[in-house]
Structures are given as C-alpha cells and as structure tokens.
C-alpha cells in the first residue's frame, strides 16, 4: 500500500463518504462540533491565517431566518438537518496574525494591509479550511451536505457583517433514508496529473 492511513479510515473519509441530502433526527452535539474543529484547525493555511469562521444554526428561530435565503431545492434538507453550519471567510483575519504566526508577526502589515489582498487570501484559505471541515465531519462519523445554492448577500446580512463573506452552508448529521445520489464519476489520474 502506498498510503499509511488504514483502508477503513480512507473509506470513512473519502471512498464511502457521501454528500447527504436527508438526515435522521439524531442530534449533533456541541462536543462533536468542538472535536471536529479541534481536529481540523491543524490543516495548513498561508501564514497560518486561519480565516474560516463558523456560525452554527441551532435554534428554530435562526433556522427560520435562514430558510428563505436557501435555493428552493435546498430548503427541505436544510429545514430538517440536525445541525446547519454557515462557513464564512473573515476578511479581517490579519488582526490575529501576530499571535497565529509568531515567526513573522509583521506579516499583518507587510502582506495584508490592503483589503482586496486580504479578501483574495481569505477566500482561498477559508475554502481550504471548509474542505478540512467537511472531512472532519466525516471523521466524526457524520455526513455533511455542503451547499452553495443560497443568497450569499442575504445570508451575509442576516447572520454576518461586512467583514465576513459566506462560502457555503453545510447540513450535518447522520444520513437518513435515500440520503445520497448514486456515486458520480471522477476524473482519472492521467486526466488530472501532468509531470513536467
């Protein structure tokens, strides 16, 4: 084997893991979410900038505020998922850099003084962290249903502020009946990898 990760763990995280569209009513605890975060926070980002911010939508009132912003096809599953997370990029992540990147505390001003530069970097690095988060949800034995079918500006105004840009909304829980579509094809190695 070329991979050191146990094959059952490979299956859990990738080969057998699926995007869920239905969920059981088994709750997702705060302890589970904290364990997920405490694992995935170690995934790398540029300058350790860690720009991902997570808003957990737990209360019925918050769920009702979110649903009108979801694309019509995403509303039923978002209404019934045990937990919904709004993943966003913090465009002011640089304020944390002196503590997060002590090897070069001046990075805050040397590289990220301008807002457009921060927005580009936050978008790329929070997307990385969102992917880590999805894999972390799988590591907890849960299923994730990531979605970008929603009104981004509406969600930002309803739940965030001008310094945060929504990336995706993730439904989280144990998969319910007929939770996944049939597995879609993937590109082959030779279609993706070029050696120069």
| pLDDT digit string, tens, across residues 61-88 | 999 999 999 999 999 999 999 999 999 9
* pLDDT at residue number 174: 97
Q: Is residue 183 part of a domain?
A: no
Q: What is the CATH number of the domain that holds 124?
A: 3.40.109.10
Let me know: does 108 contact 96? Beta carbons within 8 Å.
Answer: no
pLDDT (0 to 100) of residue 1: 72
Q: Report the domain count for the chain.
A: 1
Q: What is the mean pLDDT of residues 164-193?
A: 96
Q: What is the pLDDT of residue 105?
A: 86
CB 43 within 8 A of CB 127: no
Rg of the Cα atoms in the chain = 18
Prediction pTM value: 0.95
Q: What is the per-residue pLDDT across 82-122, written as a single tens digit (0 to 9) for each?
A: 999 999 999 999 999 999 999 998 999 999 999 999 999 99
Domain residues for 68? 7-175
Q: What is the largest CA-CA distance in the chain?
A: 55
Flag whether 188 is in a domain: no
What is the tens place of the pLDDT at every residue in 129-158? Answer: 999 999 999 999 999 999 999 999 999 999
């Amino acid at each position: 084997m070329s991979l050191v990760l146990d094959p059952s763990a490979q299956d859990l995280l990738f080969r057998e893991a699926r995007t869920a569209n239905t969920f059981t009513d088994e709750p997702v605890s705060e302890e589970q979410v904290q364990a997920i975060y405490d694992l995935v926070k170690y995934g790398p980002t540029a300058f350790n900038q860690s720009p991902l911010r997570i808003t957990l939508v737990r209360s019925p009132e918050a769920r009702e505020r979110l649903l009108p912003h979801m694309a019509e096809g995403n509303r039923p599953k978002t209404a019934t998922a045990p937990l919904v997370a709004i993943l966003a990029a913090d465009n002011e992540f640089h304020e944390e850099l002196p503590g997060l990147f002590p090897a070069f505390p001046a990075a805050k001003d040397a590289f990220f003084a301008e807002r457009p530069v921060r927005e580009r970097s936050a978008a790329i690095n929070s997307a990385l962290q969102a992917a880590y988060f999805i894999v972390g949800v799988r590591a907890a034995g849960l299923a994730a249903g990531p979605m970008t079918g929603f009104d981004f500006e509406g969600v930002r105004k309803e739940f965030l502020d001008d310094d945060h840009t929504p990336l995706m909304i993730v439904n989280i829980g144990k998969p319910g009946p007929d939770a996944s579509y049939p597995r879609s094809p993937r590109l082959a190695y030779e279609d993706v990898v070029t050696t120069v």
